[in-house]
């Protein structure tokens, strides 16, 4: 598998800065309101709100509890309407009040110009338990809550074991395929692919403080596993 296209897609989610059309952004807000107007706005706190002229607005939000995509959409629409300026792009990071400081995003919302909400399910993967069975290769894990710095120093076998756990936890179609086959060795190619994707995505030192689980989610999403 050629992982460079995957890397491009993963990183583009962080660094894409193409400008949209302001009028399209305005029309999109109206459409979002019509969808979410019947949904009660849940409690949230804005802890950071910055912008780069009218090109980009970035907002960090703390939630009291996990919410549905519909509830997050309602919050995102309210946040977009709270500023009279029209931005080409709006990026919202949602974290839970129970998250540790500097934890990876629990969910994100971004418009360029269409609003898209994505629950990354970071907490679920971060608390994944190791699978047990007769296969030796996937019993070496232990990196479920590792930072990228720790991930880089870890042995390949521990990465593969952890990636196997993440795949079973976050990729239901693959899990069913493996379970139906009755052979956990069928999971290993997927675990290897996930490790390769993460390793490529975290090259350099800029993301060493982030959680490896976040990049696992991004890679699985890019490869179409989270369905």
Radius of gyration over every alpha carbon of the chain, rounded to an integer in angstroms? 19
Distance CA 94, CA 188 (A): 33
* β-bridge partners, 52: 56
- pLDDT band for 130, please (50, 70, 90 cuts): low
Rounded Cα–Cα distance for residues 50 and 227 (Å):
33
For the stretch 173-203, pLDDT in tens is: 898 888 888 888 888 999 999 999 999 988 8
Q: Closest by alpha carbon to 6, among 192, 160, 189, 198?
A: 198
Q: What is the pLDDT of residue 100?
A: 72
- The confidence score (pLDDT) of residue 17 equals 36
Where do the CATH 3.10.310 domains begin and end in the chain?
Answer: 14-119
What pLDDT does residue 32 have?
39
Mean per-residue pLDDT for 208-224? 88
CATH fold label, 14-119: Diaminopimelate Epimerase; Chain A, domain 1 (3.10.310)
Return d(Cα 151, Cα 213) in angstroms, integer. 10
Range in 100-104, 120-124, 209-213 with the lowest mean pLDDT:
120-124
């Amino acid at each position: 598998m050629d992982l460079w296209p995957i890397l491009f897609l993963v990183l583009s989610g962080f660094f894409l800065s193409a400008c949209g059309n302001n009028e399209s952004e305005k029309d999109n807000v109206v459409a979002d309101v019509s969808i979410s107007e019947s949904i009660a706005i849940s409690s949230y706190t804005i802890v950071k709100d910055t912008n780069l002229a009218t090109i980009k607005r970035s907002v960090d939000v703390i939630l009291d509890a996990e919410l549905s995509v519909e509830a997050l959409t309602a919050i995102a629409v309210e946040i977009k309407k709270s500023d009279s300026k029209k931005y080409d792009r709006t990026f919202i990071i949602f974290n839970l009040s129970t998250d540790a400081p500097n934890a990876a995003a629990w969910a994100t919302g971004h418009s360029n110009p269409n609003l898209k909400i994505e629950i990354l399910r970071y907490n679920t993967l971060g608390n994944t338990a190791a699978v047990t069975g007769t296969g030796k290769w996937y019993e070496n894990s232990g990196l479920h809550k590792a930072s990228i710095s720790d991930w880089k120093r870890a042995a390949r076998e521990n990465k593969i074991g952890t990636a196997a756990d993440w795949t079973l936890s976050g990729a239901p179609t693959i899990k069913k395929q493996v379970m139906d086959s009755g052979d956990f060795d069928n999971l290993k190619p997927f675990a290897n692919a996930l490790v390769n994707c993460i390793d490529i995505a975290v090259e350099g030192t800029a993301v060493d403080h982030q959680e490896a689980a976040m990049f696992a989610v991004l890679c699985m999403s890019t490869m179409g596993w989270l369905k």
